[in-house]
Amino acid sequence: MNPFKVLILSQKNIEVWSYLRNLLWPNHPINEHIEDGEKIIESNNLISFLVCSDNGQFVGFADASIRQDYVNGCDHSPVAYLEGIFILDEFRQLGLASLLLHEEMGKIQRLFRISIRYITR
């Protein structure tokens, strides 16, 4: 059994999410991360996922949006767009970014009813 699970951003985990997000974007004040999180929770076109260990430690997150505008490399709309992804250093190389990306894209697809195409370069 995988010792990690993925959760959707909520008011219950917004503070730890903002802490992790601040590690990726340290020039963005922590209170603005919390404001961003509140907007994501209320939004119909933004979503964020957190990865949590079985002992309750949050170790990473991924923010995504549904963009209606032009996205480089895409010829269709809407597009699921990965805004940011972060895993704590000591939990890297465990497949957690893949867990966030691949398993959760299905949730994005169902929540927003869009098709997913992967573009790699």
Per-residue pLDDT at 24:
94
Per-residue tokens: 6: 């993925």
- Which alpha helices (DSSP H) does the chain contain, by range? 14-24, 30-42, 96-98, 104-112
Q: Do the beta carbons of residue 102 and residue 64 sit within 8 Å?
A: no
Q: Is residue 80 part of a domain?
A: yes
Within-domain flag for 100: yes
This prediction has a pTM of 0.81
Q: Which domain holds residue 105?
A: 4-112
Strand partners, 107: none
Of 36, 6, 21, 2, give the one whose Cα is nearest residue 101: 6
Pairing of the two strands 4-8 and 79-87:
unpaired
The number of domains in the chain is: 1
Q: What is the CATH number of the domain that holds 73?
A: 3.40.630.30
Residue 66 has pLDDT above 90, yes or no: no
Residue 49 in any domain: the answer is yes
pLDDT 10s digits, 70-102: 666 666 666 677 788 999 999 999 989 888 887
